[in-house]
Amino acid sequence: MLRSASLRVTRPRVAVLKAAHELPHSDTESLIGAARDDLGEVSHQAVYDVLRALTGAGLLRRIQPSGAVARYEARVGDNHHHVVCRSCGTIADVDCATGHAPCLTASNDSGFAIDEAEVIYWGTCPQCSIDQSSTAQIS
Ligand SMILES: [Zn+2]
Ligand SMILES: [Zn+2]
């Protein structure tokens, strides 16, 4: 993947890319942890640099729901969307609403040629729904 994006293959790049495949929607801290498990000591700055290079090359996608830290994923180029739990911040993938980009028609395109829509659905994840209903029953 790195070679196809004309990026030099380095151990930190391989480690971060592997971690992003294994742990979709990871934040920087989790990716640093995974890279350290793989490589031993690696600096925050090195991982930040790798994330910037991989995102810039289109190998990783960066998502940042409002009020949350940035997350990274290796599922790129398919214009999928995300659903975020308001309670615990868990993120899951949502496939394109109509199968191809942009899957939403803007009610007013202001003359723009629109080629992509990025949607964040907000809600409560299954685990938090269970927790909330059990708390409600106790009280
Ligand atoms: Zn949740
Ligand atoms: Zn995703």
Instruction: In whole angstroms, give the CA distance from residue 37 to residue 15.
Output: 9
Tell which residue, 56, 64, 57, 55, has the closest CA to residue 25.
Answer: 64
Ligand number, closest to the Cα atom of 92: 2
Q: What is the pLDDT of residue 99?
A: 65
pLDDT tens digit at each of 139 positions of the chain:
999 998 999 999 999 999 999 999 999 999 999 999 999 989 999 999 999 999 999 999 999 998 889 999 999 988 899 999 999 999 999 987 666 777 778 888 899 998 888 889 999 999 999 988 877 665 5
Encode pLDDT of 112-135 as tens digits.
998 888 889 999 999 999 988 877
Instruction: In whole angstroms, give the CA distance from residue 48 to residue 38.
Output: 16
CA of 54 to the centre of ligand 2 (A): 16
Instruction: In whole angstroms, give the CA distance from residue 9 to residue 7.
Output: 6
Ligand number, closest to the Cα atom of 74: 2
